[in-house]
Amino acid sequence: MNDDTIILLKECNSGCKNATNSMEQVSSYIHDVNFQDLISKYNKKHIDIGDKCHTLLNNIGKSEEDPTIMAKAFAKFSTDIKLMINDDTTKIAELMVDGCNMGIKSISKVLNQCRNASMESIHLAKSLISIEQDFMDNLLAYL
């Protein structure tokens, strides 16, 4: 497996972890059943892609990279503060849309830089971008 493949898989895996951490964090603030179902549905999709990336990395003896403790703590702290001030569905949807945008941008950037990545890793990256876009499109109804 070449370096481009490893870089792309690590980026996808990291993006999935960030997304699932965020979705699990906001879950306790959600009161709308349909919105909770939407978050759960996309959390599962992110977990599935993250698991595939994890497996591919493990198969070649490469470890996945967790977001740094500081990055996770800052993200959790800033989200908690925002939701303490305003925890309505619109605010949560807005935070999730921002996360989708960041995910789409970061995966697309690495995908464009890693032109020699394996077809399997490219397919996973494109699937993740598609999931992020679909999730964002569904979230727009809650803004």
Q: Would you give per-residue pLDDT tens digits along the chain (143 residues)? A: 799 999 999 999 999 998 999 999 899 889 999 999 999 999 999 999 999 999 999 888 776 666 666 566 656 656 666 656 666 899 899 989 999 999 999 999 999 999 999 999 999 999 999 999 999 999 999 99
pLDDT for res 74: 58
pLDDT at 72: 61
Q: What is the dihedral of CA 80, 85, 91, 92, to 10 degrees?
A: 30
How many CB atoms sit inside 10 A of residue 37's CB?
11
d(CA 81, CA 86): 9
- Token pair of 72, please? 């996770």
